[in-house]
Amino acid sequence: MDGSPTKKKQRSPRIVGKYKGYKGDYCCVPGCSNSRGSCNRLGLKVAFYQIPSNPERRKLWLQRIRRGEVDEHGRIIPFIPKSHTRICSQHFIGGT
């Protein structure tokens, strides 16, 4: 090292390609590719729901989603929903 401070260029990250919106615009269910504005098989707009804050309901929802990852010991790492986590209406009985 020569001790001279390295000049860092301050560059703001560029969005490459089409801007897809923030995470909350996507369904968190594995294998589901619905996003805000998607239509279901009936041609109806898919609605998005937030995970309930009520612990009982929240638990139920998470069981239904069955989203989880397996670690190197074969244990399931539970899926922890974030504030932006959304589920689309296709995963609800009778949902559109």
- Interface residues with Zn ion (CB under 5 A)? 27, 29, 32, 34, 88, 90
In the structure encoding, which two tokens stand for residue 8, read together? Answer: 């860092």
Closer CB to Zn ion, 9 or 95, in the complex:
95
27 vs 51, which CB is nearer to Zn ion? Answer: 27
- Compare residues 29 and 51 and give the one whose CB is closer to Zn ion: 29
Distance in Å, CB of 69 to Zn ion, minimum: 18
Which is nearer to Zn ion, 90 or 96 (by Cβ)? 90
Please give the Cα distance from 64 to 47 (Å, whole number).
Answer: 17
In 3-state terms, what secondary structure has residue 65?
A: helix
Do 56 and 62 form a contact (C-beta atoms < 8 A)?
no
Q: Are 88 and 32 in contact (CB under 8 A)?
A: yes
Q: How far is the CB of 62 from Zn ion (least distance, A)?
A: 14
First-to-last C-alpha distance (Å) of the chain:
62
Shortest Cβ 86–Zn ion spacing (Å) = 8
